[in-house]
Amino acid sequence: MSLESKSRGEELKGEGNQAFKDKHYALAQQFYSKALEIDHANAMLWGNRAFAAIRLEEFGGAIADASKAIELDPKYAKAYYRRGDASYALGHWKDAVRDFRSAIRLAPSDPDLRRKLAEAEKEMKRQAFEKALATPDEKPYSEQVVLEDMFVEEGYSGPRMEADEEGRLRVTLEFVQGMLEAFKNEQLVHRRYAFEIILQAQAILKALPALVDVTIPDGGELTVCGDTHGQFFDLLRIFDLNGLPSDTNPYLFNGDFVDRGSWSVEIILTLLVFKCLYPQHMHLTRGNHEAKSMNTIYGFVGEVKAKYTAQMAEVFRETFCWLPLGFVINDKVLVVHGGPPVACNATLADVRKLDRNREPPEDGPMCEMLWNDPQDQLGMVPNKRGVGVAFGPDVAKRWLESQGLQMVVRSHEVKDEGFEVAHDGYTVTIFSAPNYCDQMGNKGAFIRFDSDCKPSFTQFDAAPHPNKRPMAYAAGAWSSMM
């Protein structure tokens, strides 16, 4: 390598490091890639690009880059560290433990590594323990809840549900408005009411198919929102801009309601209570973060336990398994969290037959609908996330046309402008968590569809919120991943 090339490579590496420091992770990744074109055998560049991929949640790509760094330099401790981070993020505990142990052998004095190893070992043991205890006839946690034993104390000052003529508690608009006001003031509703909301919503969700058809009547509109990720005060911003859900103002929230942000409980209770109040006009899609493995890592389980109980966390988990996998609007638009099931070439008819009441598998149509991503290149390749596939414009067009559809609307990815129209209009991404994790600087957005399924986009900036950092409830040392 010439001195000029070496100098240029170091310059690109420095620009990548500065972009990373400024939290422009995609830009950092680009600089590292350009540097690797000059110095392909530089293990540190591969390790740095792996770190950027982790920040972008491209965990499969991070594992590949870290593995290349290890191949080039088997004594590069940070490469094992990065690969362990990525494996942990995917819930691959055994692989994470292996790599953290390798990293500790090379860097024995790193306390952060030891904390992460302890977390990975704890999760690996928990998974094995739960598997050993599981029985086919185990009664669901939702059926073990005894609502009548949860007395609402006279001293409780929050909103109260009213009883109907048969003595059953019911959701009213007055209660919902009181609940939102309490949440704004960082107050919770009584756990009796929280359980009522979850179980009433679960009963409604159970009656739905895996793929739901939605009709926008002439003169009507439907608002579609993307990931909200526990950013409750940004959800309120959406309602301020677009109005509360109602029977004349329907909404569809496209998955990833929880994790990352530290008001996930408030988000999901708000969405579920509107599902109870307007069951035909509040639609909820399952995202890849409505899953036990993600909720354990990224904070939702810890948040529910901190704000309510471990039993409630299990009831939420069971409820998530009943969320529909997608919606078809006016026989024209598929709304799904990740993308259409193109790798397995499943049809809409196949999706309608799926038994969705389970944790997401690692392949097949359900997995793809939660995890797939679009790409600019033609064809289809394994997803950089490490789960699902990335599909090109030709793949999207072919699949949509085979199903008689015009467009897929999906979420699952941060976009600087809050949305992106790709694949010549066949693929639209919508993301509704502005300044994601208080650090990405992106806008949020939502879509309004009319009866002709013409999309209209609204962008918005992040709302002010109380001083609580993202990932505040994440598992142990993992709260430092962001």
Question: Which amino acid is located at 59 in the chain?
Answer: F
Place of tokens 């000052």: 157
Of 283, 289, 337, 465, catalytic: 289
| 40 in active site | no
Place of tokens 């198919």: 209
What's the rounded Cα separation, in Å, for the pair 74 and 207?
Answer: 54
What's the rounded Cα separation, in Å, for the pair 462 and 15?
Answer: 28
Beta carbons within 8 Å of 320's beta carbon, 6+ residues apart: 286, 290, 291
What would you report as the CA-atom Rg of the chain, rounded to the nearest whole angstrom? 23
Does an H or E element contain 333, and which? strand 333-335
Given its phi and psi angles, is residue 206 left (phi above 0), alpha (psi -120 to 50 degrees) or beta?
alpha
What does 164-176 look like in DSSP terms, one character per residue?
-TTS-EE--HHHH
Beta carbons within 8 Å of 297's beta carbon, 6+ residues apart: 88, 89, 91, 474, 475, 478
Tell me phi and psi for residue 430, to 5 degrees.
-125, 130
Burial of 109 per CB tally in 10 Å (0-12, 13-18, 19+): exposed
Tell me phi and psi for residue 164, to 5 degrees.
-85, -170
Question: Which amino acid is located at 272 in the chain?
Answer: L
Cβ pair 123, 89 in contact under 8 A:
no
Beta carbons within 8 Å of 81's beta carbon, 6+ residues apart: 99, 100, 103, 107, 113
Cα 262 to Cα 89, 142, 246, 427, distances in angstroms = 18, 24, 26, 30
Q: How many residues are listed for the chain in this entry?
A: 482
Tell me phi and psi for residue 260, to 5 degrees.
70, -75
Catalytic residues: 289
